Structure 1
Amino acid sequence: MKCLTSVLLGLALLPCVSLSVQASELVYTPVNPSFGGNPLNGPVLLNQANAQNHFTQHSSSGSSASSANSALTQFNSMLQSAILSRVSSAVTSSIVGTDGKLIPGTVETTDFTITITNLSAGVLQITTTDKTTGQTTSFQINQ
C-alpha cells in the first residue's frame, strides 16, 4: 500500500513540476542542387534517375545503314529539287516575254496545264490544273 501511496503522491505532484521544453522553426533545406541544395548531391541524384529510367530507344537497323540511307535520301531529294527548278525555269521562260511581262496562252507539262488568260487591261488570271487529279488552282495578278 505504501507503494501505491507514493505513486499517487507522485502523480498528484506531477502538474506542479515544471518541465522545460524548447522548440524551433522548421527549416526546409533542398536536396537538389538545381533548387539550392548541396552541389555534391548532383551525381547521386543523376545516378538514381538513370537507374530508374527504363526507356530504350529503338533503332531500325544500325547507325551506319541508317546514315547511309539518309544520305542517299537527302541526295535524291536535292536532285529532285534541282530538276524541278530547271523545269520551272523552262516553263517560266516560255510564258514570260523579253520585257518581263507574262504572255497569255497555255503551257503543258507532263503533270500540269498552266493557262494564262488576259481578263481585262493588265489583269491576268493564271490557272494551274493537275492532269492526274483534275484539281485546279487560280489566282489573278496585275501586270
Structure 2
Amino acid sequence: MLTPICASAQDLSYQPINPRFGGNPFNSNHLLGEANAQNKYTDPNDRSNQSQADIFAQQLQSRLLSSLSSQVVDAIFGKDPQQSGTIQFGGQTIQFDRGLDSVTLRITDQSTGKETVISIPTLVKAS
C-alpha cells in the first residue's frame, strides 16, 4: 500500500490564435479571410455601382462647396475681414457676424428651415 508513485506533469501554456493578442502573425491573413467571408454588411456609400456621371456630379459638388468655403473663410479672416455678411448657395444661406472674441456662423437650410450655428473663436494678436 505504501508504494511510491511518480507523477509527472508539464506546464500549461496558452498561445492565442489572434495576432492582435499575441498570437502567430502568420494567422492574420487567414483570420481576415474568414471574417470577410462571414461579413454580411454592405457599405451604403459604396460607389462601385454608381455611374460615371453620378461620381462626376458628386466630385463637382464637392469642389464647388470647397471653393465656397474658401470664399467664406477669406471674407471672415482674409486681408480685409468683413464684420458681417450673407452668402446664398443653392438651398443654403450662410450668415456670419463678427463679435469681440468670436465669429458666429448661421447656416440655414431654406427647404427645411433647419439652422446650424457655429461659433469660431478669433485669435487676438499680441502687440
TM-score (norm 1): 0.42
Structure with more helix by fraction:
1
Give the greater-gyration-radius structure (CA): 1
